[in-house]
């Protein structure tokens, strides 16, 4: 996992070469985007998922404020620029496949545009089967036994 720190305790922001190397190492979608998960640094709560392109990632790393790419508006947006619900980014990590980012943030106010702390506070869409219970019919159909 590669991490870029933008902590306020860091003496300088990452250099242009460091940012370019990080961007180059990522696996973007065909549209030039990568999913970015924002997580509250001190509680571990997942706040939201948004998209980043190379420019929004560069701006995030250089400024320390979360900047994303809006697919619906086709433009960059700094989280909280109009609402005041900013995300100060403490670190950015890439997953093992280098196709998803995890931003550790300090969220001011609610993260979700609906006014909730997290975009993931809605009701659960489906409850999966408990894998510790009896084997499912799918397991039996595959010939798996306990």
Question: Binding-site residues for Zn(2+), please?
Answer: 96, 112, 119
CA-CA-CA-CA torsion for 110, 114, 115, 116, nearest 10 degrees?
-70
Residue of 105, 93, 104, 103 whose CA lies nearest to 26? 93
Residue of 94, 40, 89 whose CA lies nearest to 68? 89
Binding site, residues?
Answer: 95-97, 99, 112, 119
Give 124: exposed, middle or buried? Use CB within 10 Å, 0-12, 13-18, 19+.
Answer: exposed
Binding site for Mg(2+), residues?
Answer: 95, 97, 99
């Amino acid at each position: 996992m590669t991490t870029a720190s933008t902590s306020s305790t860091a003496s300088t922001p990452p250099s242009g070469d460091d940012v370019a190397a990080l961007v180059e190492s990522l696996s973007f979608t065909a549209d030039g985007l990568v999913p970015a998960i924002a997580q509250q640094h001190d509680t571990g709560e997942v706040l939201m998922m948004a998209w980043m392109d190379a420019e929004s990632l560069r701006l995030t790393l250089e400024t320390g404020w979360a900047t994303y790419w809006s697919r619906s508006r086709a433009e960059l947006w700094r989280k909280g620029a109009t609402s005041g619900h900013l995300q100060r980014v403490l670190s950015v990590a890439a997953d093992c496949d280098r196709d998803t980012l995890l931003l550790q943030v300090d969220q001011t106010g609610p993260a979700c545009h609906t006014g909730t702390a997290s975009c993931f506070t809605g009701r659960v869409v489906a409850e999966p089967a408990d894998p510790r219970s009896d084997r499912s019919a799918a397991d039996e159909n595959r010939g798996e036994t306990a």
